[in-house]
A and B are shown apart, each in its own frame.
Chain A
Amino acid sequence: MIRPKRLGMTLAHRAAILLYIAFALFPLYWLVKVSVTPNDLLYSEGVKMWPSRATLDHFAFVLEHSDFPLFFRNSMIVSVSTAFIVTLLSSIGGYALSRFTFRGKFWIVGLMLLTQMFPLVMLIAPIFKMLSPLGLTNSLSGLVLVYVAFNVPFATFLMQSFFDGIPKDLEEAAMIDGATRFMAFRQIILPLTLPGMAATLGFVFTAAWSELLFALMLISGVDASTFPVGLLSFVSKFSVDFGQMMAAGVLALIPACIFFLLIQRYLVQGLTAGAVKG
Chain B
Amino acid sequence: MTEAVSAPYGRDRRPFLRRLANASEPYLYSAPALILIVTVMLVPLVIGISYAFRDMTLLDPFSGGFIGLDHFRAIAKDKTFWLALKNTVYWTGYSVGLQFAFGLILALLLDKPFYGRGLAQALCFLPWAVPSFLSGLNWAWMFNPVVGPIPHWLYGMGLMSAPDNILSDPDLAMWGPIIANVWWGIPFFAITLLAALQSIPRDLYEAAAIDGATPFQRFRSITLPFLAPTIAITVMLRTIWIANFADLIVVMTNGGPADKTQIVASYIFTQAFRRLDFGYASAIALVLLMLLMIYSLLIVFLRQTLLKER
Contact = CB atoms under 8 A, between A and B. Distances in A.
- Asked if A pairs with B, the answer is yes
Interface stretch (B67-75, B77-85, B268-276): B268-276
B285 A119 contact: yes
Interface residues of B, number: 99
Interface stretch (A9-17, A66-74, A189-197): A9-17
B268 A119 contact: yes
Interface in A139-165: 145-146, 148-150, 152-153, 156
Interface string A103-126: 011001001100111111111111
Contacts of A265: 118, 122
A227 B133 CA distance: 10
Centre residue among A16, A92, A123 by max chain B CB count within 10 A: A123
B307 interface: no
Contacts of A25: 123, 126
Contact of B129 (A20, A30, A119, A256): A256
B90 interface: no
Contacts of B130: 28, 253, 256-257
B265 A119 contact: yes
Given A27-B142, A278-B230, A127 B44 contact: yes
Interface of chain B, helix or strand or loop or mixed? helix
B48 interface: yes
A266 interface: no
A224 interface: no
A136 to B, nearest CB: 11
A24 B148 contact: no
Interface of chain A, helix or strand or loop or mixed? helix
B133 A242 contact: no
B305 to A, nearest CB: 22
A150 to B, nearest CB: 7
A221 interface: no
Interface residues of A, number: 92
A59 interface: no
A9 to B, nearest CB: 9
A227 B130 CA distance: 13
A-B complex: 3 closest residue pairs judged by Cβ atoms? A260-B129, A149-B40, A210-B131
Interface of A: 13-14, 16-17, 20-21, 23-25, 27-28, 30-31, 34, 42-43, 46-47, 89-90, 92-93, 95-97, 99-102, 104-105, 108, 111-112, 115-130, 145-146, 148-150, 152-153, 156, 181, 206, 209-210, 212-213, 216-217, 227-228, 231-232, 235, 242, 245-246, 249, 252-253, 256-257, 259-261, 264-265, 267-268, 271-272, 274-276, 278
